[in-house]
Structure 1
Amino acid sequence: MKKKIISCILACTMGLGLLVGCGSSDNGGATAADTATQDSSSAETDTAAETAEADTAGGQDKVVIHYYSWSEGDYLQQMVDAFNASSENVTVEMTQVSSDEYDDKLMTMLAGDNDIDVFNMRSTSLLSNLAKSGNLTDISQMINDSGMDISTYGTGFADTKVDDKFYGLPYRASAYGLFYNKKMFDAKGVAYPDNLTWDEYADLAAELSEGTGADRIYGGYIPDWNNCAYITLQEGSNFADDDLSALQDWWELENRMYNTDNSHMSYSDMVSSGTDGINFFCSGKCYMYPGGEWSISDVLTMLKNDPTIADNFELGIATVPQPAKTDDPVTIGGVSTFIGINASSEKQEAAFEFISYMAGKEAAKYIAAAGAIPAYIDDDITAVFEEAIGVSGAANILNPSKISETLMIPEYTELQTIEKEERELYLLGEQSLEDGLKNFEERRAEVMN
């Protein structure tokens, strides 16, 4: 029965990408360069007794944990090495699969009799599906018994429960901010865009925009692939909400910026030109760029590959605009990448020791040092992250409260697709606002019913 369930999940997850929030970066959400790839057919298939055999290296018995992830850069191996050096009882052997093959291979391995104790999950949807299929261990009691302080993961961690139980620990997070070119603001003699509302952002973008045609400089740029309905989420709504007023607020604001004010490249121009948003931003074609934390590494890569960009570009980071003035800003993001225990593993206690480390402060230092955002955040980790990226203002994306763009319901990925399709038709002028919202509501009802 479990194998049949896994087959269904495999079909459902083929469309899932890395959550890192609200879509992907301009390079398709690619992770660090892929490293070791291993076919599931070559995975170790020892018996349960054999998998529990001790590693006697160094004269000390250790339980061997077999850990699977997608290729995620050097920091993941550094985290595993640090754990192995510190643990008296456990050693971890990690296999990294190429990023674009990982989800499918994970499903295949879980459906078979492969030796896999711990594995990573890059979306709340995948975590939910695997929990419901019985492939993840309920770690709720382990968390309680360990005395782990889960408040360090923010309020969004509680939203990852499935049937009021925890099935994974977060080790990475996402966060959105407002990125801007300091040198362009300085040259214009305009104050940096700190603590803006969305209306103020739109007004400023319109004020800064100038020129026509190919020579136009835009006040801001929000990519066409961006599926993040900022205002909708910040106002406490989502795509499953019966009240569509918050969704309407976002659609109307985008239409104003894209089509009425022409302060952002229009949706139709982005679609037809295939513009790379980060290249556009770094080339001085726009002043501001709302986006996810991956935008930082994209910018730094651009600067590394072409140092002359720095002649006219300096990255600034501000808090993402808010629906209204507030002393408690909210951004989109929160815990996004998880590590869990295979329910079939014979080494539950050792596996929990490992995933607790991966979701803790010591491991977080390696993630932050690589310029990525760990799930565990405190002042020390913020300082490591800011030093790693070499840009001040990191606290503006790390510190605000975070709200997830997804719900832990199986249909939510499809709702996101429907919303994007109907919003696109509206922004392209192919349907009215009223028709777009009506069509979204009707199509949503078909999915939810």
Structure 2
Amino acid sequence: MRHNKLWKKAMALTCAAACAATTLAGCGSSTQAEKPSEKTEAQGESGAAEGQTEITFTVWDYETTDYWKKLVEAFEAENPDIKVKVMDIGATDYDTKIPVLLSSGDTSDVITIKSMNIYNSLVEKNQLMPLDDKVKESGVDMAPYQGSDEGIRIDDKLYGLPFRNDYYLLYYNKTLFDQAGVEYPKNDMTWDEYRELAKKMTSGEGNDKIYGGYCHTWPGSLYRWGLSEEHSMADGEYSFLKPVYELFLGMQNEDMSAMDYGTLKTGNVHYSGPFYKEQVAMELMGTWFANMIINTKNKGETSVEWGAVRAPHFEGQEPGTAVSNPTPIAINKNAAHPEEAWRFVEFMCTEPGANILAGLGTLPAYQNEKTIDTLVNVEGMPEGFREAIAADNFVLECQMIPQAGALEQIVAEEHDLIMLGANSIDDGLANMAKRVNDLLSK
């Protein structure tokens, strides 16, 4: 086993970075209508064969995410008495449609959870099945979840098993560092060291400019660096975020070493583009990005030579602390086939599914020596990736409160005003605090 991780529960905001978080692999933008996938083999559109039970698996971006079909096929091969029918919903519409679907009395069996505010809402409405008894009866070893299961308990009950547990790394372009004659980033740098490194790696002008750093437009891409066991986005007091804003605004406006927030926002720039086009030397992004880079290189759509290290930390913060966002897979309280649904969830979220996920270059929530060895030995994974993903402690990005969605909106609005220069850092954080306190007092 690698590090013996401790889970530190920090109540914080489910944000656009958390996805919004991924496709599961990085904030999908699909707008396809809710529909079964056209791939009959994975879907079972023709219905279950004689002697088979058909269960429905609801997920987003099935067609554009590399592991869903492989996981479904592997499960069906090991469980020939079960056929999985996939309900594929576009990522953009997913969080809107799932509550409507379940509120209608739908008997879909297995539900992938895309954001923690939806998870909290579905539990509050009694639409998800508690899984503690299933876990106990099946003898599931919870230790490999490294505590991510504890992070998604509500009222001490578990309503989903963690499928993925994403957190941010510092990705870097080896070629650009080699050309500049600058040493690669190291694990556990301070943010001051990162800022100085970004200055060194910034060069050129106009369309030929190379930026040393990059911070995406999701609010959580910035505020996550201030979260800790002591501070969360539900505090109603946000002075702890001031050094974070000072850092990134300083890089943008003083050093000119990071791409302009307004330009990125107005242009709706996807975070992968600048890295693939080798316009940035370093980029802070989630663990899912490794899988995306490898797949994009395999398609010949980028030639970037890359590495990754653990994210920097502020002085006084504990190195190796990761702000994480688990992705659970749950069972509908009204599932037509709850026993078969549990067999599928157990497969997806324990070692069998974790090994498939890791073999495709994506970090699973269920982690043991086998799954980590599988992940770091994927073709195209850079040297040192094992050390990059080793987290000593976690704080939870997501919060389990009914106001999570409204709180998220407030933070996003005030974040925009600060980053665009419409408000000072102090005024923006004061406004954020006032609005959040007003919300939480209702």
Which interval holds the TM-score relative to the shorter structure? 0.7 to 0.9
State whether residues 131 and 167 of structure 1, in contact with CA within 8 Å, keep that contact through their aligned partners in structure 2. yes
CA 1:269–1:115 in 2, change beyond 3 Å: closer, same or farther?
closer
Shift of 1:445: 1.6
Whole-angstrom CA distance in 2 between matches of 1:299 and 1:399 = 20
Structure (1 or 2) with the larger CA radius of gyration: 1
Shift of the 226–278 alpha-carbon distance from structure 1 to 2, 3 Å rule, reads: farther
Match status 1:378 vs 2:368: yes
TM-fit CA distance, 1:319: 0.8
CA shift digits 1:319-362 (9 cap, x unpaired): 111223888502232422x2222222364333323211211111
1:80 is the counterpart of 2:72? yes
**Higher RCO (CA < 8 A, seq sep 6+):** 2
Selected match of 2:252 from 234, 244, 258: 258
Q: Residue 256 of structure 1 aligns to which amino acid in structure 2?
A: G
SS of residue in 2 equivalent to 1:384: helix
What residue in structure 2 maps to residue 223 of structure 1?
A: 216
What CA deviation, in whole Å up to 9, does each residue of 1:362-408 have, x standing for no partner?
11122222332222112222232233351223324432143332211
> Superposed, which structure 2 residues align to 1:19-418 within 5 Å?
20=18, 23=21, 29-30=27-28, 37-38=35-36, 57=50, 63-72=53-62, 73-87=65-79, 90-100=81-91, 101-195=93-187, 196-228=189-221, 229-234=223-228, 236-306=230-300, 309-310=302-303, 313-324=304-315, 329-336=320-327, 338-345=328-335, 347-388=337-378, 390-392=380-382, 393-400=384-391, 401-418=393-410
Secondary structure of 1:218's match?
coil
Deviation at 1:20, TM superposition (A): 4.0
Matching residue of 1:49: none
Aligned CA distance change for structure 1 residues 424 and 380 (closer, same or farther; 3 Å) = same
2:30 & 2:385 partners in 1: Cα distance?
21
SS of residue paired to 1:170: strand
Helix, strand or coil at the partner of 1:30 = coil
Segments of 5+ residues of structure 1 without an aligned counterpart are 1-15, 40-54
Indicate how the Cα distance of structure 1 residues 142 and 207 shifts in structure 2: closer, same or farther if over 3 A, else same.
same
Counterpart code for 2:36:
Q
Root-mean-square deviation over aligned CA pairs: 3.2
What percentage of residue pairs aligned between the two structures are identical? 27
Q: Any idea what the Cα deviations from partners look like across 1:397-422, whole Å, max 9, x if unmatched? A: 43214333221112223323322322
Structure number with the higher helix fraction is 1
1:278 Cα deviation (Å)? 2.6
- 2:435 is the alignment partner of 1:443: yes
Indicate the SS of the match to 2:432. Answer: helix
Q: Identify if the C-alpha distance between structure 1 residues 277 and 17 changes in structure 2 by more than 3 Å, giving closer, same or farther.
A: closer
The structure-2 alpha-carbon separation of the partners of 1:302 and 1:356, relative to structure 1 and needing over 3 Å to count, comes to: closer
1:66–1:116 Cα contact (<8 Å) kept: yes
Match of 1:6 in 2: none
The residue identity in structure 1 corresponding to 2:121 is: N
Distance in 2 separating the partners of 1:251 and 1:438: 13
Q: What are the superposed Cα offsets for residues 233-260 of structure 1, whole Å, 9 maximum, x if unpaired?
A: 2464221114423222211211211112
Alpha-carbon shift at residue 118 of structure 1 (Å): 2.3
CA contact (8 A) 2:238 2:430 kept: no
Distance 1:225 1:113 in 2: 34
Q: Which amino acid aligns with 2:322?
A: T
Deviation (angstroms), 1:175:
2.2
User: Does the 8 A contact of 2:288 with 2:363 survive in 1?
Assistant: no
Residues 130, 379 of structure 1: alpha-carbon distance in 2 compared, 3 angstrom cutoff: same
Residue 164 of structure 1 deviates from its aligned partner by: 1.3
Distance 2:36 2:52 in 1: 24
One-letter code of the match for 1:94?
Answer: K
Task: Give structure 2 stretches of 5+ with no counterpart.
Answer: 1-13, 38-47
SS at match of 1:285: coil
Matched to 1:361, the amino acid is E
- Aligned partner letter, 1:358: M
C-alpha separation in 2, matches of 1:227 and 1:388: 29
Q: Distance in 2 between matches of 1:399 and 1:226?
A: 25
Q: Deviations over 1:3-56 (max 9, x none)?
A: xxxxxxxxxxxxx9987467568x9822799799239xxxxxxxxxxxxxxx78
Distance in 2 of aligned mates of 1:66 and 1:224: 35
Structure 2: how far apart are the matches of 1:276 and 1:119?
27
Q: After TM superposition, give the deviation of residue 209 of structure 1 in Å.
A: 1.9
Deviation for aligned residue 1:113:
4.3
Kindly state the Cα deviation for residue 314 of structure 1 after the two structures are TM-superposed: 0.7
TM-score of the pair, normalised by structure 2: 0.82
Asked if structure 2 preserves the Cα contact closer than 8 Å seen for 1:21 and 1:332, the reply is no
Distance 1:305 1:78, change over 3 A: closer
Residues 144, 315 of structure 1: alpha-carbon distance in 2 compared, 3 angstrom cutoff:
same
Tell me: CA distance 1:33–1:382, structure 2 relative to 1, closer, same or farther (3 Å).
Answer: farther
AA matched with 1:248: K
Between the two proteins, the alignment pairs up a number of residues equal to 411
- 1:382/1:398 contact within 8 Å kept: no
Distance 1:23 1:257, change over 3 A: farther
Deviations 1:272-311 (A, max 9, x none): 555444322233322111111333344345434546x53x
